[in-house]
Amino acid sequence: MHPYLDPFYAAFPAFIANMAPVFVAKAGWLHALDVPLDFRKTIFGKRIFGDHKTIRGLIAGILMGGAMGIVQYALHTFGIVKYPYLLSDAEFILFGFFGGMGALIGDAVESFFKRQFNIASGRPFIPFDQTDYIVGFLLFTLPFVSWSFHEVIFLLCVGIICNPLSNILAYVLRIKDTYW
Ligand code: CTP
Ligand code: MG
């Protein structure tokens, strides 16, 4: 057991899910699903989520998070990378899909608050932009792993630290137009 590597490895589906919407949009996949999640509806006079939260992004996050979970399951089953938490086969297969869904729902909930606070889509809301998907991931995977307090704090810090790194990576890979 490792106090930092274990939760970090288990959160891979969250990191992948969080990057999935930008990647899928850039690749031009699932074009028919490029529809706002809130269907442009408003609540309290503000858009529920705004134009940057799409059905395509949600589906991409669930599928890519799920795919990551299945890769980790295969690596564990074939004895290549031992998984740090005890899960049944069925739980293991569901873990990535739930985690990916939680990540994208956490992100959408954060966008809801940004809209209510009059923060335009795409404008920063630090540190919530960096941690929204981690919170969603942790909540949606609670049926599988009882996260400890220190694991929660550690992953929130990873979200804050990883954000600039993943932005720079996406910029270098030409997925994003800016490096922030
Ligand atoms: N995205 C998407 N669908 C989602 C989530 C994200 O299409 N459900 C895409 C959008 O193109 C979005 C990008 O991923 O611009 C990055 O997501 P994020 O940084 O969370 O969104 P913001 O542009 O900051 O928008 P918001 O202000 O609503 O958080
Ligand atoms: Mg966000």
Say if residues 118 and 46 touch (Cβ distance below 8 Å). yes
Summarised one tens digit per residue, pLDDT across range 12-30 is 999 999 999 999 999 999 9
Confidence of residue 169 (pLDDT cuts 50, 70, 90): confident
Question: In the structure, how many helices (H) and strands (E) does the chain have?
Answer: 6, 2
pLDDT tens profile 35-62:
999 999 999 999 999 999 999 999 999 9
Pair 146, 130: CB distance under 8 Å: no
Q: Are 81 and 75 in contact (CB under 8 A)?
A: yes
Dihedral over alpha carbons 124, 125, 130, 131 (to 10 degrees)? -160
Report the distance separating Cα 66 and Cα 48, nearest Å. 26
User: Is the separation of the CB atoms in 33 and 54 below 8 Å?
Assistant: yes
* Burial zone of 60 (CB within 10 Å; 0-12 exposed, 13-18 middle, 19+ buried): buried
Beta strands in 16-128 (DSSP E): 42-43, 46-47
Sign of the alpha-carbon torsion through 92, 97, 98, 100: positive
Beta strands in 36-80 (DSSP E): 42-43, 46-47
> How far is the centre of ligand 2, averaged over its atoms, from the C-alpha of 51 (Å)?
12
- From ligand 2's centre to the CA of 108, what distance in Å? 7
Residue closest to 2 by CA, chosen among 95, 82, 84, 76: 84
Q: Is the pLDDT at 180 greater than 80, yes or no?
A: no
**Total residues belonging to the chain:** 180
Residue 97 Cα, ligand 2 centroid: separation in angstroms?
A: 19
Global model pTM greater than 0.75: yes
Ligand 1: residue of 15, 38, 53 to mutate (most ligand atoms within 8 A of CB) is 53
Give residue 171's pLDDT: 86
Ligand 1, atom 20, lies closest to the CA of 107
